[in-house]
Structure 1
Amino acid sequence: MTDISLAYSPVTVDDVDAAIAFYRDALGLELLNDVSSDGHRWVSLGFTNQPGVTLVLSDPGAGRSPDDGEALARLVVKGSGPGPFVFATSDLDGLYERVLASGAEVLQEPKVQPWGPRDCAFRDPAGNLIRINQA
C-alpha cells in the first residue's frame, strides 16, 4: 500500500483578510505563508497539532480561468461553495464560544447528532459551511 496523506486543502473566499482573521483568530490556525501574484493571494494556514496539513485561502479567480472564477464566486457568495469543511477539537464548547465571539454566523449550537458526533456549525466570512466535531 502507498503511504499517502493530505497536504493542502483549498478554501475559496471572497475576502482573504477577513478569512485570515476567522481561521487564525477564531479557529486558532497558524499563518504559514502569504503569497501574491497577478492580483491574487494564496494564504496558507496550518495546525500546531498536525504539521504538514495546510489550508490554503484564495479568492475565486486565483489560478482559474476568468469564467471558472466568476462561476465559483457566484457559488461562494451564495454560501454554496465547496464544503462543508469539518474540523475536530477536544474542547468543542470553548472553541464554539471563541468562534461565536468572532461574529461568525451560527448555523447550529453544539449538540449530539443522531449519527454520533457532538458538533456545531458556522459560516466563515465568505459563507463556507464550517462544522466542528468534538474529538
Structure 2
Amino acid sequence: MGINLSQCFIAVDDHDKAIAFYRDVLGLEVRSDVGFEGMRWVSVGAPDQPDVAIVLEPPLADPNASDADREAVNVLLAKGLLRGVIFSTDDCDALFERVRASGAEVLQEPMDQPYGVRDCSFRDPAGNMLRFNQPRKG
C-alpha cells in the first residue's frame, strides 16, 4: 500500500495577488480556479509534479464558521502565524534573487544549514512563510 502527497493547503486573503505570486514569480501553473458558496479555491503546482497541488484557499474555508473564528484566523494570517510550505530547488541562490526582485518580504537570505541544505525563506502576499531549500553537495 503506497501513500503519496496529493494536495496541501495555504490560506490566502487575496487570490489574485496569490496567483500572481505563485504563477508569475515562482513559476507554478494554475490548475483550477473554483468558486463555491462565495469562496474561492485555486490550485497551483509545479509543471514537473502533475500529481501534487497546492490549494490556495480562503483563510477559513468553512461556511458554518462563526464571525469570531473568521476574525481570529484573519488576524493569525495577517501576522504570518499560519504554516506555509517548503519547496526544493536546484539553485537556491538564483531562486532567492528572482523572488527578492519581485518585492516579496525576505525572511532569510540563502545560507547553509547544519542539516544538509542551503535554504532561504520569504513571505507570500498573504504573509505565509515559504522556505526554499537545495541539498548541499558533499
| TM-score, normalised relative to structure 2 | 0.89
- 1:54 corresponding residue in structure 2: 53
| TM-score, normalised relative to structure 1 | 0.91
The whole-number CA distance in structure 1 between the counterparts of 2:23 and 2:76 is 24
- 1:38 corresponding residue in structure 2: 37
Provide the aligned length of Structure 1 versus Structure 2: 133
* Structure 1 position 51, deviation (Å): 1.3
Whether the aligned pair in 1 keeps the contact of 2:11 and 2:60 (CA below 8 Å) is no
Whether the aligned pair in 1 keeps the contact of 2:37 and 2:63 (CA below 8 Å) is no
Instruction: Determine helix, strand or coil for the equivalent of 1:43.
Output: strand
Instruction: Determine helix, strand or coil for the equivalent of 1:31.
Output: strand
Instruction: Determine helix, strand or coil for the equivalent of 2:52.
Output: strand
The whole-number CA distance in structure 2 between the counterparts of 1:65 and 1:102 is 37
* Structure 1 position 64, deviation (Å): 4.9
Instruction: Determine helix, strand or coil for the equivalent of 1:122.
Output: strand
Whether the aligned pair in 2 keeps the contact of 1:61 and 1:70 (CA below 8 Å) is no
Superposition pairs of residues 1-135 of structure 1, within 5 angstroms: 2-67=1-66, 68-83=69-84, 85-135=85-135
* Root-mean-square deviation over aligned CA pairs: 1.4
Give unmatched runs, 5+ long, in structure 2: none
Letter in 1 for 2:24: D
Letter in 1 for 2:6: A
Letter in 2 for 1:38: E
Give unmatched runs, 5+ long, in structure 1: none
Structure 1 segments of 4 or more deviating over 2 A?
61-71
